[in-house]
Structure 1
Amino acid sequence: MNKQVKRELQSLSLKIAIVLVTGGIMMGFILGVAVVPDDAMDPAVKPGDVVLFDRNQSNLINRDVVVLYRNQQKTIRRIVAVEGDCVDITEAGLVINGYVQQETQITHKTKAYKEGISFPITLEPGEIFVLGDIRSQVEDSRIYGPIKQADCLGRVITVIRRRGI
């Protein structure tokens, strides 16, 4: 093997190593990946879809779709309220700070669960309230209450559809 080919192979090997290390750092500290386990967020995100999420939890806001770790698996839910908000569920539906929420992506009426938490509830500093988009059959904050923002793994930034592949 001549010296030029050897140098080019070494250069290529170094570039591949840099890409792999950079990718590993990004996936370990900046980004994460999860496979959607259920249909709680249908039609926005469907079972089997792969989501890429940003691990930075400092700027989570209302309507962000987030990845949580519940019951030994990653789950996907939508933030409907953040710290300081008063959450209530009435006959009119989901009420945040006294205003009935107009949620165009929700196809089922939001109801409280009998076995769930009591309403109204005001979120403490660092808490978020999450719901699934299919409100009639999902385990979410109506059951387990508000969650700590720090317990959220991150905000979904990309959905990769796996159906039909």
Structure 2
Amino acid sequence: MTRADFRTSNSSGELNKLSFSDKEAIKPLLIGLVKKIALILIGGYLLFHFVFGFMIIKRNDMAPSVKAGDAILFYRLSQTYKVEEAVVYEDSKTSITKVGRIIAQAGDEVDLTEQGELKINGHIQNEGLTFIKSREANYPYRIADNSYLILNDYYSQESENYLQDAIAKDAIKGTINTLIRLRNH
């Protein structure tokens, strides 16, 4: 059947209604269309539930790199993470999903100087921030296997910047691969 078969008109120029046989011919086409749409929706759900993640940032933890109102896509299937990678992780103390940057990995030694400067493997980091030692960690300490130390980019000098303990690899939800600016500021 062609398009012309469906657009027949009578002598007065009015379109004729489709006959019963024409409706029966359209039925398999509509079923095929519905199947394709369902397949695309299921595929999209599986892709964004198991392979990629999408998140609207609600906090300024990574400002100015990533601010509240931005959207990110992150890759969930990473098996290893590198220092300096931006990741999405769940804070085990607050159960809040956050964005941060890995600054140390398993086996690295983390310490704070008397002035509050961050030292990793004996080298002072150029974070430009001063930290207060976490009440839960004894410094210097070595990052445990399958753990990472993550910092947020945004700290104010007025707040108490506690250097948090390393988090388990399982708490990391994925690596950020796309940033979409949705905010108006």
- The corresponding residue for 2:74 is 53
The alignment status of 1:120 with 2:152, answered yes or no, reads no
Deviation at 1:93, TM superposition (A): 3.3
- Of structures 1 and 2, the one with the larger relative CO (CA 8 A, separation 6+) is 1
Q: Which has the higher strand share?
A: 1
**CA 1:57/1:119 → structure 2, altered by over 3 Å: closer, same or farther?**
farther
Q: Aligned Cα RMSD in Å?
A: 2.4
Match runs of 1:106-145 below 5 Å: 109-116=128-135, 117-136=137-156, 137=159, 142-143=163-164, 145=165
Structure 1 alignment gaps of length 5 or more = none
Structure 1 counterpart of 2:58, from 37, 47, 50: 37
TM-score computed with the length of structure 1 as normaliser: 0.82
The alignment status of 1:86 with 2:109, answered yes or no, reads yes
**CA 1:149/1:115 → structure 2, altered by over 3 Å: closer, same or farther?**
closer
AA aligned opposite 2:76: R
Rg larger in 1 or in 2? 2
Can you list the C-alpha shifts for 1:33-69, whole angstroms capped at 9, x where unaligned? 2222211101110012121111124121111111112
CA distance in 1, matches of 2:81, 2:102: 8
TM-score computed with the length of structure 2 as normaliser: 0.74
The DSSP-based 3-state class of the residue aligned with 2:62 is coil
Percent of matched pairs sharing the same residue: 28
